[in-house]
Each structure stands twice: as C-alpha cells, then as structure tokens.
Structure 1
Amino acid sequence: MDSADRTDLIVSRLRETGEVTVTELAELTDHSEMTIRRDLDQLAAQGVLRRVRGGAVSLVPRGQEAPYALRERQSAEAKRRIAAAVGELIGPGSAVVLGGGTTAAEVARVLAGRAITVMPLGLQAAQLLSADRATKVLMAGGEVRPTELSLHGPLAEASLDAVRFDVAVLGCCGITVGDGITAHDLGEVAVERAAMRSSRRTVLAADSTKLGQVTMGRVGPVTAIDTLVTDSAAPDGIVADLQAAGVTVVRA
C-alpha cells in the first residue's frame, strides 16, 4: 500500500469513527508504526487531524469537505485518467468553462497549450492554463474562497451569464440519480448552476468515490449533465442507473 492509499484509508477511518490509533492503522495497512506516525504528522500539518497519545482525532466534522491539499493527493491517478478522457471530449477552438477543485486542476493540465478559450473558476487551474499563450484564458470575477481558491458570489455568476460556452466541465462532491449533483459549498452551487446555464453541454468529471454520495447543496438533477467521466472503479449499479437516466458514462 503506497502513501496515497494509506492516506485514503486513514481519512476514511477518521470519517467513520472520529479517531484512530497508530497500532490499528499499522495492522490495517501492513506498515510499521513509524510510517503511520509520519502519515499522521503530515495530515496534522494539513489540518485534517490532531495528534493525541497513541493516535489521532479528526478535525474535519462529518459532512464537511476535506482540505484541498488532502483531496489533491486522494485518487490522484484516477483523476489524471479522468482528465485525459475529458480532454478527448474538447475539440479545437472550443469555449470551455472549467469548474474549481482538484479534478478540474488536472483537466487544466491536459488543456493547457491547446488553441481553445477557457474560463477557469479556480485560481489553480487559471495558473496552469495561462502558462501557454496558445490557450486564451478568461477570468471571472467574484470572491475567492479561502484555501480552495475557487471563485463564487454574484460577480462570478454575472461573468458566467455574460458569456456562452460550448461546454462546461465541472466537478462535484456527490452524485446519485435520486438527489442529483451535490456540493458542500452553497456558493459553489450557485456558480455551477450559472456555468450550466451558459453552456451548450455539461461534462461532469468525478472519481468513483463521489458516486453514491450526497452532500448539502444540490446543483441540479442528473439530467442536467450530458456526460459523466469517472474511473474504472465506479460501481456498476450506479453507472447503470445513471445511464438509464440518459447520462453518457465514460470510465477512464
């Protein structure tokens, strides 16, 4: 089990139980207690947990989004494959609105250097896209969400309403047929709705851990998206339900 897999397991256990012990994690991962202590120290530095004698307790309340720096490491390989598959759906000369989040940042890496126009809704993606002059970058207005560096608020929504895009590429925190597409942050919900309204089609880029999850803010029904790009670990049952609802599902 590599570092990313151990991190996923530790965070999962913390979300389930609220606390973990070094001994328990060493047995679950088949790694030394010294390695587990280093993992816990790194997560403590990212604000995910607080170290206590013999283990750690969670600092991320149940139902709250994990910090960006942690999510950036989670399902990293799956996100790279998803980004590559999304890139195949974007034709030359396209006008694209790109949502915020860690998967969107990977998509930005793929799109950078192409002769397209992109309005990124995250500052990480904007920096990646603007590294090559071939890609035209339009910046939305709005308030910057601390640590996430995503844009939201009335100015961001007004920027989106003023432009028409060929495709919106968005992420999510959860998706089910019953509850639709959901996000943790309500400001993000409003911006993603505006992005959908301004686009001819919508591509949702979400790794398999998001399928079957529901968070507080509802962006819209699954019928609001045209294509879901996910990874090969996506549950067959959920994929079948989405396809039955009319969503094209691409497994990368």
Structure 2
Amino acid sequence: MDHNNHVQRSKRLKAIIRALDNGPRRVVELAELTGTSAITIRRDLTELAERGALERTHGGAKAASARGAEFPFVLRESELYATKVALAQAGRELVHGGQSVLIDNGTTTLAVARELAGAGVTTLALSLHAAAALASRPGNEVIVPGGTIEGDDLSFTGIGAMETIRAMRFDIAFIGACSADPAHGLTVATWPDAQIKRAALESSARTVLITTATKFSRTSAHRFGSYDDLDTIITTADAPVSAIYEARQAGVEVITVPLSAILDH
C-alpha cells in the first residue's frame, strides 16, 4: 500500500470511529458516509474491533465501552506524517555518535527512532516500535526495559521500565506528550505513562520535547512536568507564539522547523 492510499485508509477509519461517537451505525450507513463498499467497511470494522477501537454489533458497530487513546496507534502514526518526519530530522541533528539516547513511546518519537537507525548510539527504547526502528540497521546498541507492554502502541509502562530508566543516565532524551499547554504543563492521558516520562526527565542530561504544534492547545489528565523540566523543544513554525514565548522565558531552547521543510516530504 503506497503512502497516499495509507492516508486515505486512515482517514476512513477515523471517520468510522467518530461516527460511532454519535451512536451505533449499520454497515450500510458507514459505507454511505465514507463512500466505499460494504465489503470494505466490514473489513475495517473487523480490524478496528481487534484493536479495541469499537465493538461489533449485528450488522454494524458501536463505540467501544472503554477506549484508551483517541485512535489506535496505526492511525495516529499516519496523522501529520510529513510533519513528524521533518521534526525527527531536526532532532537527529542534536545527536552524536557514542551518546546514550532515550526514545520515548509515541508516534513522533518513533519518527526520531527511524532517523537514528545506524547512528552509532546506545539507546533505551520505551516501545517495541522504536526498538525495531533503532535496530533496523547495524550500529546501535538497543536496550528495552523489562515488564509489561501496552497492546496497541507496544509501549513499556510498568515498574520494570521505571527501574531501567533510573538505573541509566542519558545524554539526551526525546520525550513526547499528549499536550504541552503553557498553563497546564506537560500532560498525558494515563498515570503510568506520566510516571515513565517523569523518570526519563530525571535521568537525562538534556531533555527534548518533540511535538507537533497541535499539542500546545490541548490538555490531558496526568501532569508529568513543566517547561522548567525541559532543555529543548522541537516543533513547527506555526506553533502558538504564546507557547514559544513561555518556553523561552523558562530558559528552554526552541527549535522551529519551517513549514517549507514539511512540504518537501
């Protein structure tokens, strides 16, 4: 599947999930909504049900009774794909061979992991996605923590992960966040993820928040830090001026990626 088809498919799956927020829908309704066939919709519903994003019903589907992330990992990964690649390339410029690097879980930090494949660094990957990317070419020492993983994004969230982080020291850590609103600080959706990120901040000489501009206007439930805990923010040039100002007032280096760099991908 080429990238354009992948993006179109991701948009269709998101449209299905959003439609179910307003109540159960039948296959024929979803086919009409998305402009595709009933066969394709049934295949989509089966995949989304397996990922826990919805529940199948006779002849259709309904919203999942309890859903963690807003969308499954595979859909979040395709969202703003070119932006994440451009941000990751800016992050790659901060890393030198021989350094120790922590790669947080998440789709933007996964893009960083792909850029660091074969870079000659020692890495702790907080998701199996990132570990596979870092080990895709020879040159890196790739470490993963012990303990449990989350089924969707394959992230490490247990006490074993925190113990591994605290037993190491990192030259640089690439951290993600669900939201980075200046007034509320750095937040994520779950308490275990907040604890993991807090441990990463405490164990790193240089902490880098790498994020799309959309995260500066959101808030989530669990706070793991503030701008004072960061050394660098990498984001795009369309990030809110107020967020960039607050970060620089806190002594944070802000690296903004030009929008023209995104269009090149």
Match of 2:21 in 1: 18
- Counterpart amino acid of 1:249? V
Question: Cα deviations across residues 114-152 of structure 1 (Å, max 9, x unaligned)?
Answer: 111111111011111122231111222221111111112
Alpha-carbon separation, structure 2, partners of 1:16 and 1:177 = 32
In the TM superposition, 1:115-194 aligns within 5 A as 115-194=120-199
Judging changes above 3 Å, is the alpha-carbon distance between structure 1 residues 46 and 16 closer, same or farther for their aligned structure 2 residues? Answer: closer
Alpha-carbon separation, structure 2, partners of 1:57 and 1:212 = 29
Whether contact under 8 Å (1:40, 1:56) holds in the other structure is no
**Structure 2 residue 73 is the aligned partner of structure 1 residue 71:** no
- Counterpart amino acid of 2:47? A
**Structure 2 residue 230 is the aligned partner of structure 1 residue 225:** yes
The offset of 1:93, in angstroms, is: 1.4
Question: Cα deviations across residues 78-98 of structure 1 (Å, max 9, x unaligned)?
Answer: 111111111011122111011
Whether contact under 8 Å (2:54, 2:62) holds in the other structure is yes
Q: For residue 218 of structure 1, give the secondary structure of its aligned residue in structure 2.
A: strand
Alpha-carbon separation, structure 2, partners of 1:16 and 1:228 = 35
- Counterpart amino acid of 1:45? E
- Counterpart amino acid of 1:46? L
Question: Cα deviations across residues 9-32 of structure 1 (Å, max 9, x unaligned)?
Answer: 984896699339769967xxxxxx
**Structure 2 residue 50 is the aligned partner of structure 1 residue 45:** no
Alpha-carbon separation, structure 2, partners of 1:24 and 1:240 = 46
Alpha-carbon separation, structure 1, partners of 2:12 and 2:253 = 30
Tell which deviates more after alignment, 207-216 or 194-203. Answer: 207-216
- Structure with the largest fraction of strand: 1
The offset of 1:238, in angstroms, is: 2.6
Judging changes above 3 Å, is the alpha-carbon distance between structure 1 residues 129 and 14 closer, same or farther for their aligned structure 2 residues? Answer: closer
Instruction: Report the number of matched residues.
Output: 245
TM-score (norm 2): 0.77
**Structure 1 unaligned blocks of 5 or more:** 27-32
In the TM superposition, 1:210-221 aligns within 5 A as 210-221=215-226
**Structure 2 unaligned blocks of 5 or more:** 258-265
Q: For residue 70 of structure 2, give the secondary structure of its aligned residue in structure 1.
A: coil
Whether contact under 8 Å (1:176, 1:212) holds in the other structure is yes
Whether contact under 8 Å (1:41, 1:51) holds in the other structure is no
Alpha-carbon separation, structure 2, partners of 1:244 and 1:125 = 32
The offset of 1:222, in angstroms, is: 1.5
In the TM superposition, 1:67-106 aligns within 5 A as 67-106=72-111
Whether contact under 8 Å (1:175, 1:211) holds in the other structure is yes
Let me know the Cα RMSD of the aligned residues.
3.2
Alpha-carbon separation, structure 2, partners of 1:40 and 1:241 = 48
TM-score (norm 1): 0.81
Q: For residue 136 of structure 2, give the secondary structure of its aligned residue in structure 1.
A: coil
Q: For residue 143 of structure 1, give the secondary structure of its aligned residue in structure 2.
A: coil
Whether contact under 8 Å (1:100, 1:120) holds in the other structure is yes
Alpha-carbon separation, structure 2, partners of 1:62 and 1:155 = 25
